[in-house]
Structures are given as C-alpha cells and as structure tokens.
Amino acid sequence: MKYDLIVIGGGASGMCSAIAAARRGASVCILEQGKLPGRKLLATGNGKCNYTNELMDASYFRSDDPAGIGAVLEQYPAPAIVAFFEELGIRPMSRNGYLYPASGQASSVRKALEMECRYLKVAIRTEFRAEKAEKLPNGDFQVWSGDACCRGRKLVLSCGSCAAPKTGSDGSGYSLAAQLGHSFIPPVPALVQLECAGKFFRNWSGVRVQGKVTLFTGGKAAGSDQGELQLTEYGISGIPVFQVSRYASKALAGHIPVAVGLNFFPEQNPRKFSEEMSRFLEKQSYKGISDALGGALPEKLTAVLLGRAGIKPDWIWPSIPVSRQRMLLGLMQRFNLEVSGTKGFDSAQVCAGGVRLREICANTMESLLVPGLYLTGELLDADGLCGGYNLHWAWATGLIAGKHAGENL
C-alpha cells in the first residue's frame, strides 16, 4: 500500500506530524523501530513530562543556525502547545512556569498521542527499523528495513538524536538524512553530567548544594547557571551543570580545554563575602573550623575545601595563617575543576548538533534540498535548555511538518 505520508520515528515529533497530517485527511504510516511509540516520553521530566514552558522564545535554544528557531516558535508558542494537548485531554499544571500534565504522569501524554493517532487511523508499524530511504524518479519516497518496504508520497524524518539510545533513538536518523542529501553537524551529548579530573570526588559524593557553575572553554567563560549542584563520585551534575554541558561537549570534541568554577556563595560579591564569613568564623573561635562551617556548608564539601586549602579540620579560625584563611574563603566562591569528559550519549537528555537548520524551511519544516521531505525534532541542529524546551521544539516542528505535508495531496 502507498501512503500519502510516511513518518520515520514514532516519538514526540513523529506522532505530532502524523496527527497534524491525518487531521488534514492524509493517509499516514508511522514506522517505529521500537515496540512502543513514544517510549522516550515515559522518561521525561523524571516520569512527569515537563512538556513546555510558559517562558518560550528563541533565547532558550542553541544552534549553529539560530535564525529559523524564532519562526517555529512564532507558529507554536507555549499557549498553542497547551491548547493542542488540552484537546487531547491533557490538562496543564504549572510549577513556576514549567508545564506538566496535571496527572503528574508522562505516560498520560504518551497515551494521549498514541490514542489520537489510532483515532485518526494512522497506521503504526512498530519494530520497523528504517535502514534506507530514497526518493524515486516519480517523486515518491521508499523506505526499507531489510526486505520490507513502505512507500509514500511524502516523508517526514522524526528519528530523534543519539541521546539516551535505550529509549529508542540511536542516531540512525542522521544517516537517513545524509542518504537523502542533507548534511549535519556531528552530534555531541548535551544536558549531561560532567566528569572532572581529580581523585577526591568520592569524598564529596552525594552532596547537593545551592551554587553557581561557570564553564570556561579555552580559558573564556562560555556559560553559567545557578541552582542545586550535585557533587558526585565522577564530578558534577544537577540542572545548572546540564544547562552548560553542551558547551563542554562541543569544546572537548574540538580538543579545547574545559574547566568549571563552582561558587557556593554566588549572591555576595567577594569582598563583602570575605568580611562576613570571617566575622562568622571568628565568632565561633571556640570550635574547630570544620564544626564552625557546619551551619554554612555540607560537611563533606567542607572537608574537600579544607583539604585543598591545607587546613586541618580541628584548627580554630584565629590560629589559621592568613594566607590559608584567604585561600579557603576564595575556594568557597571559586572552586576550579578541570573537565575531562561527559557521561556521554547514554546519559545525555539531548544532543547538540544535527541536521543543519539552514537546509530546512522553518515555516514548513520542508527540506530546501528535497521537495516532499520534512525533518523535525531533535534530529535538527537545535537544542533547548532544561525546562520543557526540547519537547516543545519536538511538538512544534512535528505539528508544522505534518500540517504542511498533509496539505495539497
């Protein structure tokens, strides 16, 4: 059977493409390599699915060709995505502007999308791994998996990236796009934990502390973010680390040195902080420094800072040489670490890089190189910050592609 539209990849953006096209009367077939469409959705937002954000504009996204991002978001701002999901029965719940389904369950989002596809009679062919995609001389597209073949008048590539391959997407979309003539920026892990050089990490493993992380590439500040930092046995994690990690991945791929500075007291300027902290510690001169800091920093972190400043935990503040006092106060606001790597694609939530946006028309998501071909979601060179931005991009690009692919058939 020949379909009006084939969608490769039954994830977030693929199901949206299929729904938008089928609502316009197109016959649609989704080819999904997994057993279940939208499996990655189940893992999103810690199982709660942060599906969009009230604050939505192009500044929350990164790309080598950022020009097209605004055009996508203008067509589908956050209220349009909320309205789309409300129609599917998903009521929004806002947590400081981060939007989740009121059910608190990512599974409700996945199910609502699949049910809408089924209601619209979208064929969902699971366990079909597209290996080859070609455009035939008559303009049709043909997709192969071994000997099995599927033919359509138009084709949407919604294969995702190579982040979190256990949930389905394994990077095969890049080679399918390349087979059809597209180029892509090599993907690197983003929204990912950072591994750091050093041997002391076991000592601070498990600490969660408020702070600011600033990432330096080649000695220059590339990005910073503030919030709960997680100190781990390999280095650092937590949302602020995720937010800057794409710059680390890109630099490491180019063999550029990467470092981070951690500030555990980011609210105060260094001079004021030194004065206040010194007074605070002086008042507790009857205690060892480790106990004196007990109400200001987690114990394990204090031990690491004291170790680096060469201060014994039972020394009292006035007995500590001034140079070491200064070093300790400095470390509290600028604890430097060399970044040696990331936790890789397996642990990354998304990828930075992908098919170049300059090869796509942002108003329709149609390829500028191959008429009738559309590309969506994380396969493209656009990565959003943590906070619902990546799913928003997936829904918006999917809906735009499906709308245009489903027209004039």
Which listed residue (27, 63, 108, 172) binds ligand FAD by CB under 6 A?
172
The answer to the question of residue 130 lying near ligand FAD (CB under 6 A) is: yes
User: Shortest gap between Cβ of 120 and ligand FAD (angstroms)?
Assistant: 18
Beta strands in 26-122 (DSSP E): 28-31, 52-53, 61-62, 92-95, 98-101
Our finding on whether 168 is near ligand FAD (CB under 6 A) is yes
**Residue 272 and residue 284: Cα distance in Å, rounded?**
19
Interface with ligand FAD: number of residues (CB under 6 A): 41
Specify the stretch interacting with ligand FAD by CB under 6 A; choose among 123-131, 199-207, 283-291, 356-364: 123-131
CB atoms within 10 A of CB 285: 12
Please tell me whether residue 399 binds ligand FAD under the rule CB under 6 A.
no
Q: Do you know the residue count of the chain?
A: 409
Q: Is 12 in the site for ligand FAD (CB under 6 A)?
A: yes
Q: How far is the CB of 130 from ligand FAD (least distance, A)?
A: 4
Q: Which of 13, 237, 243, 245 binds ligand FAD (CB under 6 A)?
A: 13
Binding of ligand FAD at residue 10 (CB under 6 A)? yes
Structure tokens at 65: 């060709």
In the complex, least distance from residue 355 CB atom to ligand FAD, rounded to whole angstroms: 11
Q: Which of 4, 40, 250, 337 binds ligand FAD (CB under 6 A)?
A: 40
- Residue 157, strand partner residues: 8, 375
Question: Given the complex with ligand FAD, which of 5 and 49 has the nearer CB atom?
Answer: 49
Q: Which helix (H) or strand (E) holds 44?
A: none
* Encoded tokens for 38: 């939208």
Q: How far apart are the first and last CA of the chain?
A: 16
CB of 349 to ligand FAD, least distance (A): 4
Structural element, H or E, at residue 389? helix 389-405
Q: Single out the residue of 391, 396, 399, 401 in contact with ligand FAD (rule: CB under 6 A).
A: 391
Out of 6, 7, 14, 152, name the contact with ligand FAD by CB under 6 A: 14
> 106-119 and 12-22 helices cross at what angle (nearest 10)?
30
Which of 9, 92, 235, 341 is close enough to bind ligand FAD by CB under 6 A? 9
149 or 197: CB nearest ligand FAD: 149
Residue from 235, 240, 388, 406 touching ligand FAD (CB under 6 A): that is 388
Q: Is 111 in the site for ligand FAD (CB under 6 A)?
A: no
Q: Is 5 in the site for ligand FAD (CB under 6 A)?
A: no
Chain residue whose CB lies nearest ligand FAD = 11
The DSSP output letter for 269 is -
Contact status, residue 29 vs residue 7, Cβ threshold 8 Å: yes
Residues 332-371 that bind ligand FAD (CB under 6 A): 349-350
Least distance in Å: CB of 34 to ligand FAD?
4
Residue 347, SS3 per DSSP = helix
Binding ligand FAD by CB under 6 A: which of 68, 92, 101, 173?
A: 173
The maximal CA–CA distance of the chain, rounded, in angstroms, is 87
Q: Which stretch binds ligand FAD (CB under 6 A): 89-97, 161-169, 238-246, 263-271?
A: 161-169
Q: Which of 45, 187, 354, 406 binds ligand FAD (CB under 6 A)?
A: 45
State how far Cα 404 lies from the chain centre: 27
Task: State which of positions 229-268 bind ligand FAD (CB under 6 A).
Answer: none
Core vs surface per residue 59-83: b (16+ CB within 10 A) or e: ebbbbebeebbeebbebbebebbbe
SS3 188: strand
DSSP calls for 113-163: HHHHHHHTT-EEE-S----EEEE-TTS-EEEEETTEEEEEEEEEE----SS
- Give the helix, strand, coil percentages of the chain, each rounded to 5: 40, 25, 35
Smaller CB separation from ligand FAD, 259 or 352: 352
Give the residue, chosen from 68, 335, 389, 399, that forms a contact with ligand FAD under the rule CB under 6 A. Answer: 389
> Binding residues for ligand FAD, per CB under 6 A?
8-14, 31-34, 39-40, 43-45, 49-50, 128-130, 158-160, 163-164, 167-169, 172-173, 349-350, 377-379, 388-391, 394
